[in-house]
Amino acid sequence: MSDVGEKRTPLYDEHVKLGAKIIPFGGWLMPVQYSSIMEEHEAVRNSLGVFDISHMGELLASGPRASEWLNTMLTNDIAKLEVGSGQYTLLLDENAGIIDDLIAYQIENEKFLLVVNASRIEVDFAWLQSHLDDGVQLENQSERYAGLAIQGPRVGELFRALFGPSPKMPERNQIARFELDGMKLWVARTGYTGEEGIEVFFAAEDAPKVWNEVLEKGESLGIRPCGLGSRDTLRLEMCYPLNGSDLSPEHNPLEAGLGFFVDLTKPKFSGRQKLREEKEAGLSRRLIAFRMKGKGPPPRPHYRAFRNGSDAGEVTSGTLSPSLHYGIGMAYLTTPTPKPGEEIEIEIRGQKFPAVIEKKPLYKKP
Amino acid sequence: MNVPDDLLYTASHEWVRREDNKIRVGITDHAQAELTDVIYVELPKTGTSYDAGSTIAVVESVKAASDIYAPAKGTVLEVNESLETNPALINTDPYGEGWIYVLEVENSDQLHELKDAAAYRASLS
């Protein structure tokens, strides 16, 4: 495995100590699994898992005009935020192609934290920098921050074990500052698994200490360190899109099914005009969720999808669902508008296998 | 990592057990540990011939599909149908119940290129 040019998070040595299998991902050397993707997946669904998300980027936008400016850069309405809250939003180019999907948190009156995808840090920063307004400062703080996602039904118990009985865990999409042994942490009630969970951001140099304390305090709760493998199966069961697979500058948020996070009534943001035209003309393709029928190989990215025997699009995500025990995936299908229940086929190594379009999410908590 | 002494090995982490002019083939303990969680095996068809080095089967884990290559030219005599219902046998017993197929080898000279256990062990370290 070549380490050249691939970055390590401040937890790299901890992953190696735990016997993780390391793979390159978005320019980083990351753990894909420690023991088994299936077991790590189950741990998050049934008790608790912790993921190193230090590779993700942290951009800070501040200043008296930060809110107004961000509202012209991002698709969601940032004016709906108040201090201590966050929202899922998208950064688009002029053609409404997706540069990145991210969470924007308002952490002070005139200060916003943008948590962006690892492989897009430089691209996002360069784009935002080139569109910067007077009265706004933009900083790339990605190197200074480490982060953990702690996900699973027992997260409340772990939160109390870490921070004591009195502080309240933030509500969904809220973010607040907490202290752990003198270390300062941002704790957000967000995640990428469909389970209750928090994402925690803190100084890079504190990373091994926070990581080990989380594992220690979580031990009696059944916590497992989890890699990118289970992160992918968990998010795909929920139909959360993955940047670089389901989202790219070739796709716009409406066809990706993310219209809820795009406020077309805002007077101005990058890609707005193009999206209004698309909406007027009707979308030419849509990201759908499907499951395989019967036994067969699991779907994978780049397999072709067929409707009535004709090529109708490309699978962008696919796996065997550890919770559902059948193959699941997402694919962009061309018009006519695909509907849940419609039977399609996925071509795998030259052979077509039956599948059916499903409502999102594919997995619902029992 | 378990590397039985009585088997031959390929550079692509298949093991080969000689049974007269036939070979039984599977993937090594190292390979299954790298893949983990085998969830699907595409078996070859009995009676079909394969060239040495051609894709003869596919082993899929949660994360990826991996091709399995024929170590020599030959015809498939038997496939392990239990893998259709229980692909995890490759994880639990890679050298036993997790065998994949039996090949009738056309020219057993081709097997001379395979590694013995010591050479395979050395290639892993």
Residue type, B110: Q
Dig out the tokens for A268 from the structure. 């101005």
What is the rounded distance in angstroms from the CA atom of residue A117 to the CA atom of residue A62?
20
Bridge partners (DSSP) listed for residue A314: A304, A332
DSSP summary character for residue B43: P
Give the per-residue pLDDT at A1: 44
Q: How far apart are CA A338 and CA A358, in angstroms?
A: 10
Contact B40 A296 (CB under 8 A): yes
Contact A229 B62 (CB under 8 A): yes
- C-alpha angle with apex B79: B46 to B30, nearest 5 degrees? 135
d(CA A309, CA A274): 32
Backbone angles phi, psi at A41, to 5 degrees: -60, -50
**Cβ A274 vs Cβ A253: under 8 Å:** no
Which of chain B's residues have a Cβ under 8 Å away from the Cβ of A320? 39-40, 60, 62
- 3-class DSSP state for residue B91? helix
Cα–Cα distance measured from residue A144 to residue A206, given in angstroms and rounded to the nearest whole number:
10
Half-sphere exposure of A62 (CA within 13 A, CB side): 12
Contacts of A349 in chain B (CB under 8 A): 42, 58
Q: How far apart are CA B106 and CA B70, in angstroms?
A: 12
Residue B63 sits at the chain A interface (C-beta within 8 Å)? yes
Q: Do B58 and A229 touch (CB under 8 A)?
A: no
Nearest CB among B36, B42, B65 relative to A300 is that of B65
In one letter, which amino acid is A50?
A: V
Task: Give pLDDT, residue A4.
Answer: 58
A334 touches chain B (CB under 8 A): no
Q: Which residues does chain B have within 8 Å of residue A318's beta carbon, measured at their own beta carbons? A: none
- Which residue from B69, B65, B88 is spatially nearest to B9, judged by alpha carbons? B69
Measured on CA atoms in the order A337, A354, A36, A33, is the torsion positive or negative? Answer: negative
Cβ contacts below 8 Å, chain A against chain B, sum to: 40
B66 in reach of chain A (CB within 8 A):
no
Helix (H, G, I), strand (E, B) or coil at B107: coil
- pLDDT in single tens digits along all 366 residues of chain A: 444 579 999 999 999 999 999 999 989 999 999 999 999 999 999 999 999 999 999 999 999 999 999 999 999 999 999 999 999 999 999 999 999 999 999 999 999 999 999 999 999 999 999 999 999 999 999 999 999 999 999 999 999 999 999 999 999 999 999 999 999 999 999 999 999 999 999 999 999 999 999 999 999 999 999 999 999 999 999 999 999 999 999 999 999 999 999 999 999 999 999 999 999 999 999 999 999 998 899 999 999 999 999 999 999 999 999 999 999 999 999 989 999 999 999 999 999 999 999 999 999 988
SS3 assignment for chain A: CCCCCCEECCCHHHHHHCCCEEEEECCEEEEEECCCHHHHHHHHHHCEEEEECCCCEEEEEECCCHHHHHHHHECCCHHHCCCCEEEEEEEECCCCCEEEEEEEEEEECCEEEEEECHHHHHHHHHHHHHCCCCCCEEEECHHHEEEEEEECCCHHHHHHHHHCCCCCCCCCCEEEEEEECCEEEEEECCCCCCCCEEEEEEEHHHHHHHHHHHHHHHHHHCEEEECHHHHHHHHHHCCCCCECCCECCCCCCCCCCCHHHCCCCCCCCCCHHHHHHHHHHCCCEEEEEEEECCCCCCCCCCCEEEECCEEEEEEEEEEECCCCCCEEEEEEEECCCCCCCCEEEEEECCEEEEEEEECCCCCCCC
- Is residue A252 a contact partner of residue A98, using CB atoms and an 8 Å limit? yes
Closest-CA distance, A288 to chain B, in angstroms, reads: 21
Q: Which chain A residues are within 8 Å of B68, Cβ to Cβ?
A: none
CA dist., res. A29 & res. A21, Å (int):
10
Spatial CA neighbour of A88 closest among A107, A69, A75: A75
Count other Cβ atoms within 10 Å, centred on residue B81.
8
The pLDDT of residue A2 = 46
- The residue whose two tokens read 């953990």 is A148
CA torsion sign for A336, A340, A343, A346 is positive
The list of chain B residues with pLDDT below 50 reads none
Q: Find, in chain A, the residue whose alpha carbon is nearest to that of B36.
A: A36
Q: How far apart are CA B17 and CA B22, in angstroms?
A: 8
Distance to chain A for B68, nearest Cα, Å: 14
d(C-alpha A112, C-alpha A105), whole Å? 5
Report yes or no: A155 and A50 within 8 Å, Cβ to Cβ: no
Closest residue of A to B41, CA-based? Answer: A297
Q: Which residue of B has its CA nearest to A321?
A: B62
What Å distances lie between residue A135 and A70, A132, A139, CA to CA?
12, 9, 13
* A233 touches B at CB < 8 Å: yes
Neighbours of B62 (CB within 10 A): 25
pTM assigned to the model: 0.94
Q: What is d(CA A177, CA B66) in angstroms, rounded to the nearest whole number?
A: 45
Q: Do B63 and A298 touch (CB under 8 A)?
A: no
Any CB–CB contact under 8 A between A329 and chain B? no
Residue A1 tokens read as: 């495995």
Put simply, whether B77 touches A (Cβ < 8 Å) is no
The CA distance from A360 to A1, in Å, is: 37
CA distance linking residue A122 with residue A251, whole number of Å: 20
